[in-house]
Protein backbone atom coordinates (compact mmCIF):
# COMPACT_ATOMS: atom_id res chain seq x y z
CA UNK A 1 0.00 0.00 0.00
CA UNK A 2 3.04 2.26 0.35
CA UNK A 3 3.44 5.30 2.53
CA UNK A 4 0.15 6.15 4.25
CA UNK A 5 1.06 9.21 6.28
CA UNK A 6 3.48 12.05 6.51
CA UNK A 7 3.82 14.45 9.39
CA UNK A 8 2.66 17.85 8.21
CA UNK A 9 4.71 20.95 9.09
CA UNK A 10 2.73 22.97 11.61
CA UNK A 11 1.06 26.05 10.19
CA UNK A 12 1.00 24.69 6.63
CA UNK A 13 -1.36 26.88 4.59
CA UNK A 14 -4.07 25.25 2.52
CA UNK A 15 -5.82 26.56 -0.53
CA UNK A 16 -9.59 26.78 -0.50
CA UNK A 17 -9.81 26.68 3.28
CA UNK A 18 -13.27 26.25 4.78
CA UNK A 19 -12.13 26.95 8.35
CA UNK A 20 -9.10 28.99 9.39
CA UNK A 21 -7.96 29.40 12.99
CA UNK A 22 -4.99 31.76 13.13
CA UNK A 23 -3.03 32.60 16.27
CA UNK A 24 -6.06 31.60 18.32
CA UNK A 25 -6.08 32.18 22.06
CA UNK A 26 -9.16 31.60 24.18
CA UNK A 27 -9.15 32.50 27.87
CA UNK A 28 -11.93 32.29 30.43
CA UNK A 29 -12.37 34.56 33.48
CA UNK A 30 -11.18 33.11 36.78
CA UNK A 31 -13.88 32.10 39.28
CA UNK A 32 -12.33 34.36 41.92
CA UNK A 33 -11.27 37.97 41.71
CA UNK A 34 -7.59 38.79 41.48
CA UNK A 35 -6.85 35.43 39.87
CA UNK A 36 -5.57 35.40 36.29
CA UNK A 37 -7.84 34.15 33.52
CA UNK A 38 -7.66 30.49 32.57
CA UNK A 39 -6.15 30.14 29.10
CA UNK A 40 -7.61 27.05 27.43
CA UNK A 41 -5.78 27.27 24.09
CA UNK A 42 -3.05 29.59 22.91
CA UNK A 43 -1.28 30.10 19.59
CA UNK A 44 -3.42 27.64 17.63
CA UNK A 45 -3.08 27.68 13.85
CA UNK A 46 -5.31 25.26 11.95
CA UNK A 47 -6.87 25.18 8.51
CA UNK A 48 -9.47 22.76 7.19
CA UNK A 49 -9.70 22.67 3.43
CA UNK A 50 -12.96 22.49 1.54
CA UNK A 51 -13.94 18.81 1.43
CA UNK A 52 -11.29 17.76 3.96
CA UNK A 53 -11.98 15.52 6.96
CA UNK A 54 -9.82 16.58 9.93
CA UNK A 55 -9.86 14.79 13.29
CA UNK A 56 -8.58 16.39 16.50
CA UNK A 57 -7.26 14.14 19.28
CA UNK A 58 -5.72 15.10 22.61
CA UNK A 59 -5.80 14.60 26.37
CA UNK A 60 -8.67 15.67 28.61
CA UNK A 61 -8.83 19.42 29.05
CA UNK A 62 -6.67 20.27 26.05
CA UNK A 63 -9.26 22.49 24.39
CA UNK A 64 -10.53 20.28 21.57
CA UNK A 65 -14.16 21.29 22.11
CA UNK A 66 -13.06 24.88 22.66
CA UNK A 67 -11.70 24.97 19.10
CA UNK A 68 -14.98 23.60 17.75
CA UNK A 69 -16.94 26.21 19.67
CA UNK A 70 -14.74 28.96 18.26
CA UNK A 71 -15.28 27.63 14.72
CA UNK A 72 -19.03 27.58 15.42
CA UNK A 73 -19.01 31.18 16.60
CA UNK A 74 -20.08 30.16 20.11
CA UNK A 75 -16.87 31.55 21.65
CA UNK A 76 -15.15 34.83 20.86
CA UNK A 77 -11.34 34.49 20.74
CA UNK A 78 -9.27 36.46 23.22
CA UNK A 79 -6.67 36.83 20.46
CA UNK A 80 -6.23 35.66 16.91
CA UNK A 81 -8.95 35.19 14.33
CA UNK A 82 -11.47 32.73 12.93
CA UNK A 83 -12.30 32.83 9.22
CA UNK A 84 -14.89 30.81 7.32
CA UNK A 85 -14.19 30.41 3.61
CA UNK A 86 -11.80 33.34 3.93
CA UNK A 87 -14.27 35.71 5.61
CA UNK A 88 -13.82 36.77 9.25
CA UNK A 89 -16.40 35.07 11.45
CA UNK A 90 -18.73 37.49 13.23
CA UNK A 91 -21.42 35.87 15.35
CA UNK A 92 -22.72 32.37 14.76
CA UNK A 93 -21.27 30.32 11.92
CA UNK A 94 -24.42 29.75 9.87
CA UNK A 95 -22.51 27.80 7.23
CA UNK A 96 -21.79 25.00 9.71
CA UNK A 97 -23.79 22.20 11.26
CA UNK A 98 -22.84 21.12 14.79
CA UNK A 99 -23.35 17.56 16.08
CA UNK A 100 -22.81 17.39 19.84
CA UNK A 101 -21.90 14.42 22.02
CA UNK A 102 -25.23 14.72 23.87
CA UNK A 103 -28.49 14.28 21.97
CA UNK A 104 -30.07 17.53 20.82
CA UNK A 105 -33.42 15.96 19.98
CA UNK A 106 -36.67 17.45 21.25
CA UNK A 107 -38.32 14.73 23.38
CA UNK A 108 -41.87 15.80 22.49
CA UNK A 109 -41.28 15.52 18.73
CA UNK A 110 -41.13 12.38 16.61
CA UNK A 111 -38.03 11.44 14.64
CA UNK A 112 -39.65 12.90 11.54
CA UNK A 113 -40.49 16.18 13.22
CA UNK A 114 -37.06 16.43 14.86
CA UNK A 115 -35.37 16.18 11.47
CA UNK A 116 -37.80 18.63 9.85
CA UNK A 117 -37.60 21.27 12.58
CA UNK A 118 -34.48 23.01 11.23
CA UNK A 119 -36.08 23.55 7.84
CA UNK A 120 -39.33 24.76 9.40
CA UNK A 121 -37.45 27.34 11.48
CA UNK A 122 -35.74 28.49 8.26
CA UNK A 123 -39.16 29.12 6.69
CA UNK A 124 -39.53 26.00 4.57
CA UNK A 125 -43.24 25.02 4.32
CA UNK A 126 -44.16 22.19 6.69
CA UNK A 127 -45.15 19.76 3.94
CA UNK A 128 -41.87 20.22 2.08
CA UNK A 129 -39.83 20.05 5.28
CA UNK A 130 -41.47 16.78 6.31
CA UNK A 131 -41.01 15.29 2.83
CA UNK A 132 -37.31 16.11 2.89
CA UNK A 133 -37.04 14.76 6.44
CA UNK A 134 -38.53 11.45 5.28
CA UNK A 135 -35.86 11.26 2.60
CA UNK A 136 -33.07 11.85 5.10
CA UNK A 137 -34.41 9.32 7.58
CA UNK A 138 -34.48 6.81 4.75
CA UNK A 139 -30.84 7.63 3.95
CA UNK A 140 -29.79 6.90 7.54
CA UNK A 141 -31.79 3.67 7.65
CA UNK A 142 -34.71 4.85 9.77
CA UNK A 143 -37.59 4.88 7.28
CA UNK A 144 -39.56 2.55 9.57
CA UNK A 145 -39.10 4.79 12.63
CA UNK A 146 -40.57 8.10 11.45
CA UNK A 147 -43.18 8.30 14.20
CA UNK A 148 -41.00 7.10 17.06
CA UNK A 149 -40.19 9.55 19.86
CA UNK A 150 -36.58 9.83 21.09
CA UNK A 151 -37.22 7.71 24.19
CA UNK A 152 -38.42 4.90 21.90
CA UNK A 153 -35.13 4.83 19.97
CA UNK A 154 -31.80 3.19 20.80
CA UNK A 155 -28.69 5.30 21.29
CA UNK A 156 -27.48 4.56 17.77
CA UNK A 157 -30.87 5.37 16.29
CA UNK A 158 -30.95 8.71 18.10
CA UNK A 159 -27.50 9.48 16.71
CA UNK A 160 -28.75 8.72 13.21
CA UNK A 161 -31.70 11.06 13.73
CA UNK A 162 -29.28 13.73 14.97
CA UNK A 163 -27.05 13.25 11.93
CA UNK A 164 -30.03 13.60 9.60
CA UNK A 165 -31.16 16.66 11.58
CA UNK A 166 -27.81 18.35 10.86
CA UNK A 167 -27.33 17.22 7.26
CA UNK A 168 -30.83 18.11 6.06
CA UNK A 169 -29.85 21.78 6.22
CA UNK A 170 -26.97 21.07 3.81
CA UNK A 171 -24.24 22.82 5.83
CA UNK A 172 -20.95 23.46 4.11
CA UNK A 173 -19.00 22.54 7.26
CA UNK A 174 -19.63 19.78 9.81
CA UNK A 175 -18.42 20.32 13.38
CA UNK A 176 -18.61 17.08 15.36
CA UNK A 177 -17.80 16.88 19.08
CA UNK A 178 -17.33 13.21 20.01
CA UNK A 179 -20.67 12.41 18.39
CA UNK A 180 -20.27 8.65 18.84
CA UNK A 181 -18.63 8.71 22.27
CA UNK A 182 -21.55 7.25 24.31
CA UNK A 183 -22.15 4.35 21.89
CA UNK A 184 -20.97 0.76 22.17
CA UNK A 185 -18.13 -0.38 19.93
CA UNK A 186 -20.27 -2.08 17.27
CA UNK A 187 -22.67 0.87 17.02
CA UNK A 188 -19.74 3.29 16.79
CA UNK A 189 -18.38 1.24 13.91
CA UNK A 190 -21.75 1.34 12.15
CA UNK A 191 -22.06 5.10 12.69
CA UNK A 192 -18.53 5.67 11.45
CA UNK A 193 -19.24 3.83 8.22
CA UNK A 194 -22.53 5.69 7.81
CA UNK A 195 -20.76 9.01 8.30
CA UNK A 196 -18.09 8.08 5.74
CA UNK A 197 -20.78 7.08 3.23
CA UNK A 198 -22.71 10.34 3.64
CA UNK A 199 -19.54 12.44 3.69
CA UNK A 200 -18.20 10.70 0.58
CA UNK A 201 -21.33 11.67 -1.33
CA UNK A 202 -21.05 15.38 -0.55
CA UNK A 203 -17.47 15.96 0.69
CA UNK A 204 -18.23 18.59 3.30
CA UNK A 205 -15.39 20.06 5.33
CA UNK A 206 -15.37 18.18 8.65
CA UNK A 207 -13.75 19.04 11.97
CA UNK A 208 -14.19 15.96 14.17
CA UNK A 209 -13.20 15.77 17.84
CA UNK A 210 -12.61 12.34 19.35
CA UNK A 211 -10.74 10.69 22.22
CA UNK A 212 -10.29 7.57 20.10
CA UNK A 213 -7.09 7.65 18.04
CA UNK A 214 -8.14 4.56 16.06
CA UNK A 215 -11.43 6.24 15.16
CA UNK A 216 -9.57 9.38 14.09
CA UNK A 217 -7.25 7.50 11.75
CA UNK A 218 -10.04 5.36 10.30
CA UNK A 219 -12.19 8.38 9.44
CA UNK A 220 -9.92 11.31 8.64
CA UNK A 221 -7.72 12.70 5.90
CA UNK A 222 -5.59 14.37 8.56
CA UNK A 223 -5.15 13.80 12.29
CA UNK A 224 -4.26 16.77 14.50
CA UNK A 225 -2.81 16.23 17.98
CA UNK A 226 -3.35 18.76 20.77
CA UNK A 227 -0.87 19.03 23.61
CA UNK A 228 -1.85 18.96 27.27
CA UNK A 229 -3.45 22.10 28.65
CA UNK A 230 -3.68 24.72 29.93
CA UNK A 231 -2.67 27.03 27.09
CA UNK A 232 -2.80 23.98 24.83
CA UNK A 233 -1.69 24.13 21.23
CA UNK A 234 -1.34 21.83 18.25
CA UNK A 235 1.84 19.76 18.55
CA UNK A 236 1.58 17.55 15.47
CA UNK A 237 -0.38 16.81 12.30
CA UNK A 238 -0.37 13.66 10.18
CA UNK A 239 -1.92 13.08 6.79
CA UNK A 240 -3.73 9.76 6.45
CA UNK A 241 -3.39 8.38 2.94
CA UNK A 242 -5.18 5.09 3.43
CA UNK A 243 -7.31 4.58 0.33
CA UNK A 244 -11.00 5.44 0.21
CA UNK A 245 -13.70 4.27 0.42
CA UNK A 246 -12.93 2.78 3.82
CA UNK A 247 -14.65 0.29 6.05
CA UNK A 248 -13.96 1.02 9.74
CA UNK A 249 -13.43 -2.63 10.70
CA UNK A 250 -11.36 -3.58 7.67
CA UNK A 251 -9.06 -0.56 7.62
CA UNK A 252 -8.03 -1.22 11.22
CA UNK A 253 -6.57 -4.56 10.15
CA UNK A 254 -4.15 -3.00 7.65
CA UNK A 255 -0.45 -3.07 8.64
CA UNK A 256 -0.09 0.54 7.48
CA UNK A 257 -2.90 1.55 9.85
CA UNK A 258 -0.95 0.11 12.78
CA UNK A 259 2.27 1.78 11.70
CA UNK A 260 0.51 5.12 11.57
CA UNK A 261 -1.12 4.51 14.95
CA UNK A 262 2.28 3.82 16.56
CA UNK A 263 3.77 6.91 14.94
CA UNK A 264 1.05 9.23 16.25
CA UNK A 265 0.83 7.54 19.65
CA UNK A 266 4.56 8.10 20.21
CA UNK A 267 3.74 11.83 20.34
CA UNK A 268 0.35 11.63 22.01
CA UNK A 269 1.32 9.37 24.93
CA UNK A 270 3.65 12.00 26.45
CA UNK A 271 0.78 14.49 26.54
CA UNK A 272 -1.52 11.89 28.11
CA UNK A 273 1.17 11.22 30.74
CA UNK A 274 1.22 14.92 31.61
CA UNK A 275 -2.53 14.84 32.15
CA UNK A 276 -2.29 11.78 34.38
CA UNK A 277 0.52 13.41 36.37
CA UNK A 278 -1.84 16.25 37.23
CA UNK A 279 -4.49 13.76 38.32
CA UNK A 280 -6.91 14.63 35.50
CA UNK A 281 -7.58 11.08 34.35
CA UNK A 282 -7.54 9.39 30.94
CA UNK A 283 -8.14 10.84 27.48
CATH hierarchy code of domain 1-95+174-283: 3.40.50.300
Count CA atoms within 13 Å of residue 86 on its CB side.
4
**pLDDT for the residue 107:** 96
Contacts of 196 (CB under 8 A, 6+ apart): 219, 244, 245, 246, 248
How far is the C-alpha of 11 from the C-alpha of 234, rounded, in Å? 9
How confident is the prediction for the chain on average, in pLDDT?
90
Count CA atoms within 13 Å of residue 105 on its CB side.
27
**pLDDT for the residue 7:** 61
**pLDDT for the residue 3:** 36
- pLDDT tens digit string along 166-200? 999 999 999 999 999 878 999 999 999 999 999 99
DSSP for 184-218, please give it.
-HHHHHHHHHHHHHHHHHH--EEEEE-S-HHHHHH
- What is the spatial order of strands in the sheet that 79-84 belongs to? 38-49, 17-28, 79-84, 87-88
**pLDDT for the residue 277:** 62
pTM of the shown model: 0.90
* Mean local confidence (pLDDT), 24-49: 91
Give one word for 180, left, alpha or beta, with left for phi > 0 and alpha for psi -120 to 50: alpha
Nearest by Cα to 102 from 1, 176, 169, 193: 176
Query: If pLDDT is split at 50, 70 and 90, which confidence band does 4 have?
Result: very low
β-strand pairing of 173-177 with 79-84? unpaired
Domain with CATH 3.40.50.300 in the chain: 1-95+174-283
Helical residues (DSSP H) of the chain, grouped into ranges = 64-71, 111-121, 126-139, 155-167, 185-202, 213-219, 248-251, 255-277
Amino acid sequence: MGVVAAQVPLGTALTGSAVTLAGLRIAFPAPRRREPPFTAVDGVDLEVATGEFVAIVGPTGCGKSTLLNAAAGLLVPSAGRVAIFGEPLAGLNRRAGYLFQADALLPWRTALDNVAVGLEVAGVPTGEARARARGWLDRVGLAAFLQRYPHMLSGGQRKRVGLAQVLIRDPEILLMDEPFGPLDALTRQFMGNLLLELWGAARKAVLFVTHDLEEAIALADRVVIMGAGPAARIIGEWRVELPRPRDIAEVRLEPDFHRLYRDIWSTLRDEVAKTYARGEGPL
